[in-house]
């Protein structure tokens, strides 16, 4: 069932066992899993069926720190959520991403990847993904990896018919859960605004917050300020440890034989460090990508290379006239260390139409991010040289420690952390089952639960975790 507002929903008499706030990939996945278990749920979405600037305005906010995208442009507020931005790239987090790494502060999940692996098949089905190919070792340090570029799923479009036909899922559009109310360790209701007017509350025995990697923190922070009892009783970590995937082009790459490393049909190829290499070099996880781009004027390129990398220029000259793919670019995307100072906070003076404080995002890349960029490119380049596959010329701004460019992508539009998973409520918000510490009936879904981020585009992992949460709620029904 799909209702256009809260009034239509109330007139139906629908009685949910679970109320899910947010109808993006995580919220829709949880709802579909509950429906399979015959558990009725309400699925609230603050937007409508399609994009509108009026709805999108609620996402305006301020970033303090490094340059970042406009906050109302980096996510979407309508049915299906930010899946409307997804370009199809994805991969599950690696097993070692879940492990404690002593050179990365605050790393280590309370669960291993084996906890979500039973849900990989469901995630692949939901997203229309083939099986991922095994990593292909190139050296002891670097492996060729399979990062899928699939046809991106727009959750609002793909599942609208199923949601409309379901007797167990009530989608309530244009209904903004402004805050949650709690009493004695339980959420009692979601206070709502529907069609831009106060519309009372929605009750349910259990609640799931699935509004996205920024809005999850915003909703819970504001709920803690407005509820007579705390919604997150132990809130030291709430909004903190926020992460992105920094993403920049890093240099020119010259490759003789793309057959040496299993390139994709379009010539793109992805590589990642082995766990041993990360441990030895004390680097965070990253992926390097070769992006073929043919240049003219090979002699000019050779001369430029000779000025900055004579050994590479000598190799290139020796290969001249052979099957040389010169002029490609190499890019790097990497994980960010989870630090408490990177956080989502509430504005003290800016509010949306409903009177809810807008977001202030505090985000800055540190020395470990800079080291992973430079040393990661060096490590990748060393493998290419040792295996006589190619040579890399790292861009000057990286070699000399210059400012990050602002005319590149900057980051992946991947919002992670803020309600991170931890056994310790002083460093996390949810436990290993995605339940908020100190609460009996409140859960969080989406990438805000990520403890660390790896390098993988997060959609597949988000969906696997959401499917797992839906299964857990079905197994522990009241």
What span, in angstroms and rounded, lies between the C-alpha atoms of 222 and 180? 9
At residue 177, φ and ψ (nearest 5 deg) are: -75, 100
The 10s digit of each residue's pLDDT in 194-227 is 999 999 999 999 999 999 999 999 999 999 999 9
Q: Is 300 exposed, middle or buried (0-12, 13-18, 19+ CB in 10 A)?
A: exposed
* Average pLDDT of the chain, as a whole number: 92
pLDDT of residue 268: 85
pLDDT of residue 321: 46
Compute how many other C-beta atoms are within 10 angstroms of the C-beta atom of residue 302.
Answer: 17
Query: CA angle, corner 271, sides to 320 and 387, nearest 5?
Result: 45
Query: Torsion-angle region of residue 225: left (phi > 0), alpha (psi -120 to 50) or beta?
Result: alpha
Q: Which SS3 state, helix, strand or coil, does residue 156 take?
A: helix
Lowest-pLDDT range of 140-154, 338-352, 357-371? 140-154
The 10s digit of each residue's pLDDT in 215-268 is 999 999 999 999 999 999 999 999 999 999 999 999 998 876 666 676 776 778
Which positions ≥6 away from 193 have C-beta within 8 Å?
175, 176, 178, 199, 354
Count how many residues are written for the chain: 478
Which positions ≥6 away from 445 have C-beta within 8 Å?
20, 22, 26, 27, 29, 30, 208, 209, 210, 434, 465, 466, 469
Domain segments of the chain: what residues?
2-131+153-243+415-475
3-state helix, strand, coil in the chain (%, to 5): 30, 25, 45
Percent residues over pLDDT 90 in the chain? 85
Mean pLDDT throughout 291-311?
A: 51
Mean pLDDT throughout 89-101?
A: 97
Which positions ≥6 away from 407 have C-beta within 8 Å?
none
**439 pLDDT more than 60:** yes
Query: In Å, how far are 23, 239, 450 from 234, measured between CA atoms?
Result: 27, 12, 18
Lowest-pLDDT range of 4-13, 18-27, 171-180, 284-293? 284-293
CATH class of 2-131+153-243+415-475: alpha beta
- Beta strands, E only, 30-185: 41-44, 61-65, 89-90, 136-137, 142-145, 148-149, 169-172, 175-183
Which of 185, 251, 294 is CA-nearest to residue 408? 251
Compute how many other C-beta atoms are within 10 angstroms of the C-beta atom of residue 105.
Answer: 13
pLDDT category of residue 293 using cuts at 50, 70 and 90: low
């Amino acid at each position: 069932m799909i209702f256009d507002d809260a009034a239509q929903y109330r007139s139906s008499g629908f009685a949910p066992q679970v109320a899910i706030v947010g109808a993006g990939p995580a919220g829709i996945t949880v709802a579909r899993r509950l429906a399979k278990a015959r558990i009725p749920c309400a699925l609230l979405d603050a937007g409508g069926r399609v994009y509108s600037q009026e709805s999108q305005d609620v996402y305006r906010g301020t970033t303090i720190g490094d340059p970042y995208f406009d906050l109302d442009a980096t996510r979407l507020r309508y049915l299906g959520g930010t899946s409307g931005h997804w370009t199809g790239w994805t991969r599950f987090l690696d097993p070692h991403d879940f492990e404690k790494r002593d050179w990365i502060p605050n790393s280590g999940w309370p669960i291993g990847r084996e906890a979500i692996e039973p849900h990989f098949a469901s995630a692949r089905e939901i997203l229309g993904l083939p099986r991922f190919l095994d990593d292909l070792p190139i050296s002891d340090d670097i492996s060729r990896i399979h990062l899928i570029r699939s046809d991106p799923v727009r959750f609002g479009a793909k599942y609208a018919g199923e949601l409309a036909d379901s007797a167990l899922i009530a989608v309530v559009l244009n209904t903004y859960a402004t805050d949650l109310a709690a009493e004695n360790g339980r959420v009692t209701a979601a206070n709502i605004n529907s069609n831009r007017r106060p519309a009372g509350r929605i009750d349910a025995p259990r609640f799931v917050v699935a509004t996205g990697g920024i809005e999850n923190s915003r909703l819970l922070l504001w709920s803690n300020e407005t509820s007579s009892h705390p919604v997150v009783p132990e809130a030291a970590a709430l909004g903190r440890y926020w992460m992105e995937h920094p993403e920049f082009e890093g240099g020119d790459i010259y490759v003789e034989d793309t057959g040496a490393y299993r390139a994709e049909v379009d010539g793109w190829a992805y590589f990642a460090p082995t766990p041993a290499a990360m441990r030895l070099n004390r680097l965070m996880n990253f992926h390097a990508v070769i992006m073929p781009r043919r240049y003219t004027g090979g002699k000019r390129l050779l001369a430029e290379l000779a000025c900055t990398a004579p050994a590479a220029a000598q190799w290139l000259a020796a290969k001249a006239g052979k099957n040389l793919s010169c002029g490609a670019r190499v890019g790097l995307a990497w994980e960010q260390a989870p630090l408490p100072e990177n956080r989502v906070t509430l504005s003290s003076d800016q509010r949306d139409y409903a009177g809810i404080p807008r977001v202030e995002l505090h985000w800055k890349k540190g020395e470990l991010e800079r080291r992973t960029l430079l040393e990661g490119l060096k490590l990748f380049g060393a493998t290419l040289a040792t295996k006589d596959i190619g040579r890399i010329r790292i861009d000057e701004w990286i070699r000399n420690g210059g400012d990050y460019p602002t005319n590149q992508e900057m980051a992946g539009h991947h919002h992670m952390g803020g309600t991170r998973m931890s056994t310790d409520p002083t460093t996390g918000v949810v436990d290993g089952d995605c339940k908020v510490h100190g609460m009996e009936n409140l859960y969080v879904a989406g990438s805000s639960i990520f403890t660390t981020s790896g390098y993988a585009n997060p959609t597949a992992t988000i969906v696997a975790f959401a499917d797992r949460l839906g299964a857990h709620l079905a197994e522990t029904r009241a």
